Structure 1
């Protein structure tokens, strides 16, 4: 990976449930920044926190094609879990590791333009890149932007945006490189084995066979979009092993899956 491009890191999965995992991740991120002098942007969801909060309130949640159906009456709860709790848990770890950071959502500074994706999904946002001025200013000032996947429409409605799609949009407007981190070691084939390199043709074949499906299909489609827009591969891997994460962030291919068109 070149030193010039910022690096957008999407965080997901059960990471936010474990203080130990968060501590290990931020130790690794700090070491990476110190060694590479790269500018980082973190983009996160927090589905596990959303599930827990909804359950605590006696509310249920369903998914359609890998996206969370978000009734408008639930969006205050979901926004609180993502832009509130999840964002500040990550900010707290950054502060504990002496990383100057700012917590944001997709609407801050007009970073991303969001509209309703599908009335059947409720308050779920379709995302496009917007204005990178605020984030580039923060990066230039030495800050780590930590961006939650809550967006706001032009008429002021809160929207829940898929975090993989959000990370892709932010990478596009920054012309950044993109790494997506989740619970799994990468994209897996029908036998549960990690795929080191995945092309668009192979990806759609695995989707047709229902091997890549639901949330992983959303992730792969977002990554494929980014590879076309950015003209460079996107890495998908796990946050679980800090020693592997350094090589993944550095663009080495022995860990995770590198997606290219």
Structure 2
């Protein structure tokens, strides 16, 4: 059972309850006559303690996978994010866009190549990444949220000096002491949260594309999981939620692992259980947990309203990452 903080003023809870109950375009399921009144009441009653607990808290969401490509899930995600904002939380969305980048590259005759979960990014690929992430994908998310009554604003690392980056030197695992050239892939030098905090204070929902910029203005492609983890750390987020195309972290037999400690993660790295695109995801999740983010979860974005289920109910699913 959740340990709740001191109660908010009663008018705040009343407003939150009213917002949750009357947000017809956002949670259409509660507005339909097909759900009995007592079930609706139970849903609201279960959500209210979590609304109180997380009121005013920052929730960083790494948005990617099927949740970004399936229309039903895209619309559901937009409504879910608005609802979190509506009841007093501060959602910050960091989005990926791998499938969209791959599609754009195929149209110009290029094939995406990855090393240890990182996309090799030459100059032409970097141009595509900037156009797809900072343009097409981000605008789609912003437009959907605004369509449902939210106020979303798109950002890249260049806006307000949000993400200062430098070229990433990837260690060559086969040749210790040497590094692999993977092009314009960046690692984060610094995060300036001022623009994000200003948007939060003005009731906006920041939508961040994982593109960093060097001191010389060079754009860098940064893994979205890495950006989400660092943003969560700098903003002192209450939660970091990473949405994926799988139920969570799986063991060698394909079974869901619901809880992982730092030691267990190191063991899964060493024996190859965690590999490929999961490497930067789990590393970033663990770094965020070690840096003070209260809870870090990897959840299945293919489940409709999985974000709300994680934040507003006691139903546990996916994998929780612990720093100890």
Residue 151 of structure 1: SS of its match in structure 2?
strand
Query: How far has the Cα of 1:242 moved from its partner?
Result: 3.0
Q: Give 1:3's match in structure 2, choosing from 55, 74, 78.
A: 55
Gap change, CA 1:87 and 1:231, over 3 Å in 2: closer
Where structure 2 has 5 or more consecutive residues not aligned to the other structure, the ranges are 1-52, 170-179
Aligned counterpart, 2:307? 245
**Is the CA contact 1:112–1:170 (under 8 Å) kept in the aligned structure 2?**
no
Q: For residues 6-21 of structure 1, what are the structure 2 equivalents within 5 Å? A: 6-21=58-73
Q: For residues 64-213 of structure 1, what are the structure 2 equivalents within 5 Å? A: 64-118=115-169, 120-176=181-237, 177-213=239-275
Where structure 1 has 5 or more consecutive residues not aligned to the other structure, the ranges are none
Query: How far has the Cα of 1:217 moved from its partner?
Result: 1.4
Structure-2 separation of matches of 1:251 and 1:229: 25
Gap change, CA 1:243 and 1:14, over 3 Å in 2: closer
RMSD (Å) for aligned C-alpha atoms? 1.6
Structure-2 separation of matches of 1:63 and 1:251: 37
User: Which has the larger displacement, 235-244 or 216-225?
Assistant: 235-244
Structure-2 separation of matches of 1:228 and 1:253: 24
User: Which has the larger displacement, 218-227 or 239-248?
Assistant: 239-248
Residue 127 of structure 1: SS of its match in structure 2?
strand
Q: Which is greater in Rg?
A: 2
Query: How far has the Cα of 1:253 moved from its partner?
Result: 6.0
**Is the CA contact 1:235–1:256 (under 8 Å) kept in the aligned structure 2?**
yes
Aligned counterpart, 1:27? 79
Structure-1 separation of matches of 2:101 and 2:220: 14
Residue 55 of structure 1: SS of its match in structure 2?
helix
Query: How far has the Cα of 1:13 moved from its partner?
Result: 1.4
**Is the CA contact 1:248–1:255 (under 8 Å) kept in the aligned structure 2?**
yes
Structure-1 separation of matches of 2:306 and 2:56: 23
Query: TM-score, normalized by length of structure 1?
Result: 0.94
Query: TM-score, normalized by length of structure 2?
Result: 0.76
Q: Give 1:56's match in structure 2, choosing from 82, 88, 107.
A: 107
